[in-house]
Structures are given as C-alpha cells and as structure tokens.
Amino acid sequence: MNGRKLGVAVVAILSLGLLIGSPAAQARKKVVTKTYLQGVGSPTGGTALAIPDGGGPLTQLVRSPIIVRGLNPRGKIRTVKVGVRASHVAAKDLEFYLASPRGVINLSSDVGGQGNNYGGSFETCAGQFTLFDSSGAATAINTPGLQAPFAGTFAPEESLGLLSGLGNKKATNAAWSLLVEDDDPANPAGTLWCWKLVISATNPQR
C-alpha cells in the first residue's frame, strides 16, 4: 500500500515538472518581460537619427517612437528600463527624455563631463547601451564627476518607478518615444543610433 502511494506521488511530481517546463506553463508566468528596439539593426529596420546642434531658439527635439505590443491587457507594469546608444563629441550637450503614457520623464540632462557618447562599441543596436534603470542601479547618471560614455546601468534623473502600476491596456494604446535634445551650439551635431524599451509586467490569466 505504501509502495503504491509512493509510486502515485512520484508520477504526480514528474507530471508537475513536465507541466511547469511546457510552453503553456511558460505562458502562465506571473511576470513577463518584453524588449522593444528602435534604430539601426533593430527588427523594425530603423535608421539612425541626426541630433541637430542647437541652443536657444535653435534647440530641436528629436523624437523616436516605439509601439508597445504583446502585453497582457489585464496586467500592470512592474518596471520599465530604457537603453540609449548615441554618439556625440560632447555628451554634456545632450538631454534624453522618455515620453510615456504617464507623461515625460527626464532620463539625463547635460551630464558626462568631458566625455563623449552614450553607450559603447558598435553604432547599432548591437552596441553596449547606457541603460536607465530605477529598480536596481547603484549609480545616478548625474553623479558629480561621472564621465561619459556611461556604458552600463545607471539611475535616471527622474524615476522610472512613476510607471509602476500602469495598466497594460493603457501602455499598449500609446506610442512611447525617446526625446533627444542638443541644447549647446558650441559642438557638432550627434547621432541617435538605437534605443530600447524593456517592460516587465504582470500576466494574469483571469
């Protein structure tokens, strides 16, 4: 009798393991993470965008949109991260903002000391990003003395935690955009090569 119960228990455990490892079980994850890319080398075939040299009345905002898809409409956002890959001889000339369904969030503005660029290596989506992350980054992007190219993870100037709890239905019914500005006419123009949006959201099944 005990042997029979043990055998039934083993079969049940093995069946549970198969269930957890199946694609259907993966679809039932409580939290899913989606990454969206826009720019050179992205799946959408985006192109590089010039960042006009500006200042005063000449200042222009460059807008690069991403359409968010594939999130469970009944879920809610947990975290948002933003990656940037841009080149400029003077990173301190640049300002980056995320235009979101909850408004515009300042990622970085006029920082970088005497360094250049945001991110490292290739001038495509394959390069190393400057990743803005309010959920786990130890170093703020505007830390005094911090030098560009910021190849790594940093906390933005304004918290991306403002997006926590945003309903997925609202997130997928809006175009998210990276806004870039050069507010100093003293140096040449720059280039936005690629940016990415990483969204982790709940995935309720009922």
Per-residue pLDDT, 108:
98
Q: Number of structural domains, the chain?
A: 1
Residue 105 lies in a domain: yes
Per-residue pLDDT, 44:
82
pLDDT in tens, the chain (206 residues): 444 443 434 334 334 344 344 445 555 679 999 999 999 999 988 899 999 887 666 667 899 999 999 999 999 999 999 999 999 999 999 999 999 999 999 999 999 999 999 998 788 999 899 999 998 777 999 999 999 999 999 999 999 999 999 999 999 988 899 999 998 877 788 999 999 999 999 999 87
Which tens digits make up the pLDDT trace of 47-58? 999 998 876 666
Residue 162 lies in a domain: yes
Domain membership of residue 46 as a residue range? 30-202
Amino acid at 115: G
Whole-prediction pTM: 0.84
CATH number at residue 65: 2.60.120.260
Residue 133 lies in a domain: yes
The span from the CA of 29 to the CA of 194, in Å, is 29
Per-residue pLDDT, 12:
41
CB of 94 closer than 8 Å to CB of 51: yes
Per-residue pLDDT, 1:
46
Per-residue pLDDT, 9:
42
E-strand ranges in the chain read: 31-39, 49-51, 61-67, 77-87, 94-100, 103-109, 130-133, 152-154, 175-182, 190-202
Residue 7 lies in a domain: no
Q: Under 8 Å CB-to-CB from 87, ≥6 apart: which residues? A: 116, 117, 118, 123, 190, 191, 193
Residue 15 lies in a domain: no
Residue 13 lies in a domain: no
Residue 180 lies in a domain: yes
Residue 136 lies in a domain: yes
CA angle 91, 94, 99 (to 5 degrees): 135
b/e sequence 182-194, b meaning 16+ C-beta within 10 Å:
bbbeeeeebbbbb
